[in-house]
Structure 1
Amino acid sequence: MKMIKPNIIFGNSNLIFFKSLLKIFNIKKNYIKIEKFKDNEYNIKFLKKFNNKNIFLLQSLSNPIHDNLINLFLIINSLKKICKKVFLIIPYFCYSRQDKLFNINSPISIKLISNILDYFNIEKILTIDSHANNFECYFNTSIKILKSTSLIVNDIVKNNIIIEMIISPDIGGVLRAKHLANYLNLELVIIDKRRPISNHIKIFCVIGNIKFKNCLIIDDIIDTGNSIIEVTNFLFFHSIKSVIIYITHAIFSNNSYIKIINSKIKKLIITDTINFINNYNKIKILTTKYLFIEEMKNIMIEEYEI
Structure 2
Amino acid sequence: MSDRSTMPTRIVAGTAHPGLAAAVAAVLGLRPAPCDVERFPDGELRPVVHGVQGGDVYVVQPTGPAVDDHLVELLLLVDACRRAGAGAVTAVVPYFGYARQDRRGRAGQAVGARVALGALASAGADRLVVVEPHTVALEAMSPVPVEMLTAVPLLADGLAELTPDEAVLVAPDLGAVKPAEHYARLLGRPVAVVRKTRLSGESVHAEELVGDVAGRPAVIVDDMISTGGTIEAAVRVLLAHGAAPDIAVAAAHGPLVEAAWDRLGRLPIRCLLVTDTLPAGGARAVPLRVRSVGPLIADAVARLHHGRSLEALLMRG
TM-score, structure 1 normalization: 0.90
> Unaligned 5+ residue runs, structure 1?
none
Q: Does 1:246 align with 2:258?
A: no
- Aligned to 1:43, the other structure's residue is in SS state strand
Q: How big is the shift at 1:107?
A: 0.7
- Aligned to 1:193, the other structure's residue is in SS state strand
Q: Structure 1, residues 63-98: CA drift from partner, whole Å, max 9, x if none? A: 111111111111111222311101111010001111
Contact kept? 1:233, 1:264, Cα under 8 Å: no
Distance 2:71 2:90 in 1: 16
> Unaligned 5+ residue runs, structure 2?
1-6, 309-317
Q: How big is the shift at 1:32?
A: 0.9
- The verdict on how the C-alpha distance between 1:277 and 1:254 changes in structure 2, with shifts beyond 3 A counting, is closer
Mapping of 1:78-227 within 5 angstroms? 78-81=80-83, 82-159=85-162, 161-227=164-230
Contact kept? 2:49, 2:81, Cα under 8 Å: no
- Between Structure 1 and Structure 2, how many residues are aligned? 299
Amino acid at match of 1:270: V
Q: Does 1:12 align with 2:15?
A: yes
Larger mean CA deviation between 121-130 and 270-279 belongs to 270-279
Q: Does 1:288 align with 2:255?
A: no
Q: Does 1:63 align with 2:65?
A: yes
Which runs of at least 4 in structure 1 moved beyond 6 Å after TM superposition?
Answer: none
The counterpart of 1:298, out of the listed 303, 309, 316, is: 303
Distance 2:283 2:43 in 1: 32
* Matched residue, 1:274: 278
Q: Does 1:263 align with 2:236?
A: no
Contact kept? 1:224, 1:256, Cα under 8 Å: yes
Amino acid at match of 1:221: M
- Aligned to 1:266, the other structure's residue is in SS state strand
- Aligned to 2:306, the other structure's residue is in SS state helix
- The verdict on how the C-alpha distance between 1:223 and 1:159 changes in structure 2, with shifts beyond 3 A counting, is closer
Coordinate RMSD, CA, aligned: 2.1
Q: Does 1:42 align with 2:45?
A: yes
Q: How big is the shift at 1:198?
A: 2.5
Distance 1:207 1:266 in 2: 23
- The verdict on how the C-alpha distance between 1:163 and 1:118 changes in structure 2, with shifts beyond 3 A counting, is farther
Q: How big is the shift at 1:125?
A: 1.2
Q: How big is the shift at 1:238?
A: 1.4
Q: How big is the shift at 1:152?
A: 2.0
Q: How big is the shift at 1:234?
A: 2.0
Q: How big is the shift at 1:119?
A: 2.3
Amino acid at match of 1:275: P
Contact kept? 2:10, 2:33, Cα under 8 Å: no
